[in-house]
Amino acid sequence: MATDEILQAIPHRPPFLFVDEVVEQSEDSLTAKKHVDASEAFFEGHYPGNPIMPGVLISEAVFQTGAIFLTRLLAEELESDSDMVPVLTKIVDARFRSIVRPGDDLYITVKLKEKAGRFIFMTGGVKNGEGKRVMNVTFSVALAKAEQGE
């Protein structure tokens, strides 16, 4: 279950929330954890009988961890202009190294590479509970005006 800290940091909610808790943070990085439960709805249709977590959802866990990191990194900026939200602008060199199955714990780390104006460049990595590399990715986000809902 996601902590209140995560629910306050990003707008994502179950069933599209792929971060359970923040486990470590520093000035230029953040590590979160996701327990991959066997009851996740995507397992019903993704390789039935041989459940594998889709790579796109592992990627989404990285991007959500990045969004949590950015709410801390850009707290003052976002507070002074609450209409700004980070949006994904580029995904580079995503590499998947091992399969994620029900029961696995994922440790997701994002690191700041560079901030240039409204663009933020980061790297992300995922390891399983045994420390085995699952995925690496480089990505960027930009601050954009939020759409006002009706």
Residue ranges per structural domain of the chain: 4-144
pLDDT of residue 148: 65
d(CA 30, CA 12): 18
Residue-wise burial string across 67-94, b where 16 or more C-beta atoms lie within 10 A, e elsewhere: bbbbbebbeeebeeeeebbbeeeeeeeb
Dihedral angle sign, alpha carbons of residues 42, 47, 49, 53: negative
d(CA 108, CA 33): 6
pLDDT of residue 76: 75
d(CA 127, CA 136): 9
pLDDT of residue 127: 98
The token pair at 107 is 């440790």
pLDDT of residue 149: 57
List, for the chain, all residue ranges whose pLDDT scores fall below the cut of 50.
150
**Residues that are catalytic:** 46
pLDDT of residue 137: 98
- CATH superfamily placement of domain 4-144: Hotdog Thioesterase (3.10.129.10)
Cβ-proximal residues to 87 (8 Å cutoff; 6+ apart), any chain: 141, 142, 143, 144
